[in-house]
Chain A
Amino acid sequence: MKTDRILLDHGSGGKISHSLTLDIMLPVFDNPMLSKLNDGAILNIGGKKFAFSTDTYVVDPIFFPGGNIGELAIYGTVNDIAMCGGTPLYLSAGLVIEEGFPISDLKKIIKSMGAAAAKAGVKVVTGDTKVVPKGAADKIFINTSGIGPIPDDIDVGCEKAVPGDIIILSGTIADHGITVLTQREGMTFTSSVKSDTAPLNHMVEKIFSSSKNIHVLRDPTRGGVGTSLNEIAEKSNCGIKIYENKIPVKNEVKGICELLGFDPLYIANEGKLLAFVSPEDAGKVLSAVRKDEFGNEACIIGEVVPGHPGKVFLETGIGGTRMVDMLTGEQLPRIC
């Protein structure tokens, strides 16, 4: 993109973010573990496989219905490790705090990080805190990194989808992104939507104990389900077909999206996963997901098809078809 400065679009998780990674980061750090560009890296240490991942949390507002930045920082990294097939064990936490930030808010955030770590069954084993002058950061930013072993018989990755695979989605989409959006300054309507922030590692354990034929796991966070499916289609060189009628979206979330001209397929989730599984095991995996406390609305939303490699198609509610492209930049509210 022809710009000499970073735009907010560069952080959207869509095509423009992707180009930043490919053009600036990858050529410098190039190595086979990074170049897979999965949610985390898969390391081989002493003959054992480990998943290693990092993420930085800058959500505004820091407290929102259904969660806060601290909880999000724990679950986000836990989920990234789980999506690599790893069992998350140890996390680091780095805090950047703006001068003047209320200590009571910090205590609240740290307390919920503790509760989240306990719920996910991980330990925060190292950390760092920096304070910057007022205005140099917005309230608080948190980075977490994490590591966890990958059992020998597990081998998942975005490049491993094959035609015939059934796509399972663990619940309603767009809850997190819409919640955060409606809490921002300037959004005056009230709603009861809540972020779906949740740990997915226990759900992943249930998935692996129900089937050995899991090919892809992915949590569709920034960029949403639409962007994640495009990444999987591209890396696996497979076609994906999904059905609009089968993708669960809460009525309220749907309403807000329509009002603002947003497509829920591109809105962030923080407690949902996509699992690609061989057709013979789809039923078993679906019931395993539904048994998890965060998966009871799970459903099958589509399949991997032999045609149109690298592209995602959607059958619309009224039976038409259309392409689902990757998100370009931030979705912006429309004029009319």
Chain B
Amino acid sequence: MTIKHADEYRDPEISRKIVEQINNLSKKKIRLMEVCGTHTMSIFRNGIRKLIPDTISLLSGPGCPVCVTAQNEIDAFIEISGKPDTIITTFGDLMRVPGTGSSLQKERAKGKDIRIIYSTFDAIEIARKNPDKRVIFLGVGFETTAPTVAASILSARDMKIDNYFVYSAHKTVPRALFALMKTEGIKIDGFILPGHVSVIIGTGAYLPFFNRFKMPCVVAGFEPSDILQAILMLAEQIENKSPELKNAYTRAVSFKGNEKAIRIMNDVFEQADVAWRGIGVIPGSGLKIRDEFSNFDAGKKFEIISKDSKEPKGCACGEILTGLKTPVECPLYKKICTPVEPVGPCMVSSEGTCAAYYKYHNGD
């Protein structure tokens, strides 16, 4: 499985030329937010912060699905794992996230049946092979993953599998951008918009946001020259005071997005008001399972009691997710919060800002 057409986007010569253009152009001090956690990781992994001029600051946004999952949802996952005759299926990132009293990883060590899967269809397969067990998939993610989860519910219905359930904690990106702009103290001059999410929803999905706030917005891919190109385009827009909604990832993202995926997602899910960690409730930013699929809705099928969910004291995840603070400004960072003993989810997820800082940032 060779990923083709990636090398040209990693060509040091191309990157060097874009950096040169950025250097020539950038005069004003500007703050750009990369909304997506995969961008945060790519920026660190490629050392992009050290290549761009000091005039440009990069802030990490709320685009790491694990990081924005509310504490009560994490606690609910842990609670469900203790139900009898239950197999929990999840993507790997969630395993270490600390709930109020435990984590999925610790529950697994106590003997709970919790399995890491790579696709929702693995969960369906597990349900098919274990008809006497209830198989629950923990649905965390943005529009990138939500369509595949929706498709798994449709498949379970068609295959008449009645022991497969989804706990939907999905969230959608454009609404979060509105909420971010309303956050007190926020200072952002432009947005690097997510690549994977935009493959599904298309650049058109950001039009209402752009029209409302007239913020410079560029959809970017994940290779170093993709990100540098987006930074260049944003710097240009800001210097010229001509905000636009642009697409720097045209090889994967269209205006309309993946219409089939959007349709499947809308068939199964509907908008809901949900809480984001550190941000609070954002109207219409969640995806809940429609009533006609309530047989597959773990949230409805299982009684979940956990009420005393507490976000850890002193954890600045919320301010970090909104770009108000960087991890080094959090009093817990590197002191009591480390990847070995994470306090907040931003230190756990491979896409989390704190994990990225911890792994790649050397205090400068």
Contact = CB atoms under 8 A, between A and B. Distances in A.
A320 B361 CA distance: 12
A8 B116 CA distance: 13
A328 B359 CA distance: 9
A318 B339 contact: no
| Chain A: interface size category | 35 or more
B339 A334 contact: no
Interface string B42-86: 001111111100000000000001100000000000000000000
A291 B303 CA distance: 65
A258 B3 contact: yes
A318 B224 contact: yes
A126 interface: no
A187 B125 CA distance: 12
B65 A336 contact: yes
Interface in B105-144: 105-106, 108-110, 115-119, 122, 140-142, 144
Contacts of A107: none
B164 to A, nearest CB: 16
Contacts of A15: 339-340
A316 B45 contact: yes
Contact of B47 (A258, A316, A333): A316
A329 interface: yes
Interface stretch (B88-96, B266-274, B278-286): B88-96
Interface in B313-361: 338-341, 349-351, 358-361
B25 to A, nearest CB: 19
B159 interface: no
A256 to B, nearest CB: 6
Contacts of B340: 1, 15-16, 19, 328-329
Give the dominant DSSP class at A's interface.
loop
B1 interface: yes
Interface stretch (A60-68, A152-160, A215-223, A247-255): A247-255
Given A187-B118, A317-B46, A332 B109 contact: no
B312 interface: no
Contact of B44 (A8, A256, A322, A334): A322
B145 A319 contact: no
A16 B94 CA distance: 18
B237 interface: no
A189 B362 contact: no
Contacts of A5: 106, 109-110
A47 interface: no
A318 B1 contact: no
Contacts of A245: 12
A3 B48 contact: no
A320 B196 contact: no
Interface centre among A3, A187, A318, A321 (most CB of B within 10 A): A318
A160 B66 CA distance: 42
B48 A332 contact: no
Interface in A19-73: 19
Given A186-B122, A317-B224, A333-B92, A325 B359 contact: yes
Contacts of B359: 323, 325
B62 to A, nearest CB: 14
Nearest to B196: A336
Nearest to B50: A320
Nearest to B9: A318
Interface centre among A254, A313, A321 (most CB of B within 10 A): A321
Interface of A: 1-3, 5-9, 15-16, 19, 186-189, 191, 245, 251-252, 254-256, 258-261, 263, 308, 311, 313, 315-323, 325, 328-329, 331-336
**Closest 6 CB pairs between A and B?**
A320-B47, A332-B92, A318-B15, A328-B339, A333-B92, A5-B109
13 contacts: A7-B108, A9-B105, A15-B339, A186-B117, A313-B362, A316-B45, A316-B46, A319-B15, A334-B93, A335-B93, A335-B140, A335-B141, A336-B65
Given A7-B106, A316-B45, 20 more contacts: A3-B109, A6-B109, A8-B109, A9-B105, A16-B340, A186-B118, A188-B122, A252-B1, A254-B3, A318-B16, A319-B12, A320-B47, A321-B50, A322-B44, A322-B46, A332-B93, A332-B350, A334-B349, A335-B65, A335-B93
